């Protein structure tokens, strides 16, 4: 983030974008799309974020494409955030951790989005795998979808929200880490103000919602306040709409990087 700026480019090959790029709605189309994005922006942005669902929809062929995209990320030296939002318990969570967060397997990523809503403790296998392998997690906490507050703003008997509890548990793991711990949060850039102490998390804050979803670079200041230097803002359509030109994608990413840098002061 220091060297390349606080931007993560989402790789979301949904049907509308494939059509706009004049690509077929197929595993081959998704591969051309995703690998072009990595080629264009991988060497110059902090991270890219493949959305696993858009690959899974094509079955084994799509998963094979995702494997090649993750390999491309390693080859060009950009971090991968695999957006799979995995959440389970026991041996099943351990299997997810093995698949995504250990060794050099075909689906191994630098970080993984996970859901804590079976209880933060259910993430223990993923937390342990991330810490042991030098990888990271982004734990859903304050998401940008309108349905999120029903769960995330619910309060316990002490009056603390679910989101605040998630943040506190991530902070416990990150205590003493310098500059940041391995357990980050997903906090939408469109949520407005929050009373959750995001700076105390001492971890990276993945911030979706920039651009087409309505958030501006200035919203990053309002939402994240003193934690804004820990923000890794995500942008998808604002960059991807400039494809399939490699130069167009690269230039668009560079513009967004500068906007985010100005907003967070990095």
Give the DSSP H/E element, type plus range, for residue 254: helix 246-264
**What would the two tokens of residue 21 be?**
């790029």
**Inter-residue contact 189 to 197 (CB < 8 Å):** no
CA atoms of 40 and 18, how far apart (whole Å) = 16
CA atoms of 266 and 264, how far apart (whole Å) = 6
4, 14, 68, 85: the active-site residue: 85
* In the block, residue with structure tokens 């103000």: 193
- Could you tell me which residues are beta bridge partners of residue 10? 49
**What would the two tokens of residue 31 be?**
């591969």
49 is catalytic: no
* In the block, residue with structure tokens 């668009």: 252
CA atoms of 156 and 160, how far apart (whole Å) = 6
Give the DSSP H/E element, type plus range, for residue 41: helix 27-41
- Start-to-end CA distance of the chain, whole Å, equals 9
Q: For residue 50, which phi and psi values (nearest 5 degrees)?
A: -70, 130
Maximum alpha-carbon separation in the chain: 54
The residues that are catalytic are: 85
């Amino acid at each position: 983030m220091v060297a390349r700026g606080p931007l993560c480019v989402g790789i979301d090959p949904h049907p509308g974008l494939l059509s706009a790029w004049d690509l077929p709605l197929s595993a081959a189309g998704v591969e051309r799309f995703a690998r072009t994005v990595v080629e264009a922006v991988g060497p110059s942005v902090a991270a890219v974020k493949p959305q696993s669902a858009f690959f899974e929809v094509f079955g084994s062929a799509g998963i094979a494409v995702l494997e090649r995209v993750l390999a491309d990320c390693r080859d060009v030296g950009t971090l991968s955030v695999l957006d799979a939002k995995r959440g389970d318990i026991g041996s099943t969570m351990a299997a997810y951790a093995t698949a995504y967060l250990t060794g050099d397997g075909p689906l191994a990523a630098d970080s993984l989005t996970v859901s804590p809503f079976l209880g933060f403790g259910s993430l223990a296998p993923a937390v342990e795998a991330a810490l042991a392998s030098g990888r990271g997690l982004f734990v859903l906490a304050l998401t940008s979808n309108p349905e999120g507050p029903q769960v995330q703003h619910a309060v316990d008997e002490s009056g603390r929200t679910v989101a605040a509890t998630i943040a506190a548990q991530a902070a416990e793991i990150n205590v003493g880490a310098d500059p940041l711990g391995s357990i980050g949060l997903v906090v939408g850039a469109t949520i407005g103000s929050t009373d959750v102490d995001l700076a105390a998390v001492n971890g990276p804050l993945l911030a979706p919602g920039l651009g087409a979803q309505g958030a501006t670079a200035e919203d990053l200041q309002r939402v994240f306040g003193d934690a804004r230097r820990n923000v890794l803002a995500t942008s998808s359509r604002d960059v991807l709409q400039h494809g399939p030109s490699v130069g167009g994608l690269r230039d668009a990413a560079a513009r967004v990087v500068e906007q985010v840098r100005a907003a967070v002061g990095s």
